[in-house]
Amino acid sequence: MALLELKDLHTFFRTKKGIVKAVNGVSYSVDEGKTIGVVGESGSGKSVSAMSILQLLDGNGYIDSGEIMFDGRDLTKLSEKEMYKVRGNDISVIFQEPMTSLNPVFTIERQVSEPFIIHQGMNKKEAAAKVVEMLADVKIPNPHIVAKQYPHQLSGGMRQRVMIAMALACKPKLLIADEPTTALDVTIQAQILKLMNDLKSEYNTSIIFITHDLGVIRQIADTVAVMYCGQVVELTDAETIFHVSEFSHPYTEGLMISIPRLDTPSNQKLDAIPGAVPHPLKLPKGCKFAPRCKYATEKCLNEEPPLIKVREGQQVRCFYARKEDRHATK
């Protein structure tokens, strides 16, 4: 059963040069206790689509149309006061860089205790005890000592664990993780991913995991939404993404072959997707990926393909979703 469902979401930003369509018709769902990985290059709309769920947009940003159904309610219809009750309680966020998310002048105890005091009505003493318990849950050694420390006294991995503890304080139904392992080394990254998987199982929390690293997605996601230029270009289960499939989007194919492999000869260059993401105010007329696609035809340049179901559990936004068909065009 879907806990969250984005339906044809459009999130725009007003700028001096025009309207930027950062999210332009995004649809995907997250089932209870499952993880969806949202991947794509910088500027693809990954974070904006997720922040739209909590209406955490810059002052010039707004939801133009679409629905965000969460637990039976359309979040786009809620007032700011009603959203306060949802943020941190039903839906929490782990941001990319914990050092900029944690307040440097407050102790860990004070910051992690806020959700308990605000949403659960605990007093300071009760919240302080709960903080130590949560820090222990995220595998922080000596949690009673760490609780009294300040963010600058902790390592990057420890700060990220504190952010996870804060996000899971009220046992939210949905957790949005916005590139939470980007600034960490691979060893700590693996520990954080294992921790998130363990906590997901323990609390039955659904997760939206935003990243540009497909290797991370393989370790944590059940389904994958590949985004490009504010649109979902492929939506399928994680197994399909990482194995040979009859269907795929050329952009997904490009991302996969650009991943370094241990068996790649040292003198062989990695394949790379040519070109760059188009400027958001100068998007192509047809398929947004056509200028960079080696399979593009005249039809691709002039018509925009819809996101279509190619088989059970897989949707692709491409006129030549079947690999045989697009190879035949060349």
Q: Write down the pLDDT at residue 241.
A: 86
pLDDT category at 330 given cuts 50, 70, 90 is: low
Q: Which of 145, 171, 197 is a domain's end point? A: 171
Q: Which amino acid is at 154?
A: L
pLDDT category at 273 given cuts 50, 70, 90 is: confident
188 falls within a domain: no
Q: Write down the pLDDT at residue 269.
A: 75
Q: Which of 149, 171, 193 is a domain's end point? A: 171
**Distance, CA of 284 to CA of 31 (rounded, Å):** 34
Count CA atoms closer than 13 A to 153's CA, side-chain side: 10
On whether the CB atoms of residues 31 and 207 are closer than 8 A, the answer is no
- Residue 253 reports pLDDT greater than 80: yes
pLDDT category at 297 given cuts 50, 70, 90 is: very high
Tell me the per-residue pLDDT of 153-194, one tens digit each, with 9 for 90 and over: 998 889 988 988 888 888 899 999 998 877 677 888 888 888
CB atoms within 10 A of CB 258: 12
Q: Which two tokens stand for residue 27?
A: 């649809």
87 falls within a domain: no
pTM, two decimals, is 0.90
Mean pLDDT in residue range 117-135: 92
**Distance, CA of 263 to CA of 80 (rounded, Å):** 52
Tell me the per-residue pLDDT of 19-71, one tens digit each, with 9 for 90 and over: 999 999 999 999 999 999 999 988 899 999 999 999 999 989 999 999 999 99
280 falls within a domain: yes
Q: Write down the pLDDT at residue 328.
A: 62
- Please provide the DSSP assignment of 57-99 as one string: --TTEEEEEEEEEETTEEGGG--HHHHHHHBTTTEEEE-S-HH
On whether the CB atoms of residues 305 and 285 are closer than 8 A, the answer is no
183 falls within a domain: no
314 falls within a domain: yes
85 falls within a domain: no
Mean pLDDT in residue range 86-109: 88
- Percent of the chain exceeding pLDDT 90 equals 58
- Residue 244 reports pLDDT greater than 90: no
Q: Write down the pLDDT at residue 119.
A: 87
Mean pLDDT of the chain: 89
204 falls within a domain: no
Q: Which of 152, 171, 190 is a domain's end point? A: 171
Query: Range of 257's domain?
Result: 248-325
Between 244 and 118, the higher pLDDT residue: 118
Count CA atoms closer than 13 A to 86's CA, side-chain side: 21
**Tally of domains in the chain:** 2
147 falls within a domain: yes
- Which residues have a Cβ under 8 Å from the Cβ of 95 and sit 6 or more positions away? 101, 163, 178, 180
- Please provide the DSSP assignment of 267-308 as one string: TPPPP---S-PPPTTS--SS-TTGGG-TT--HHHHHSPPP-E
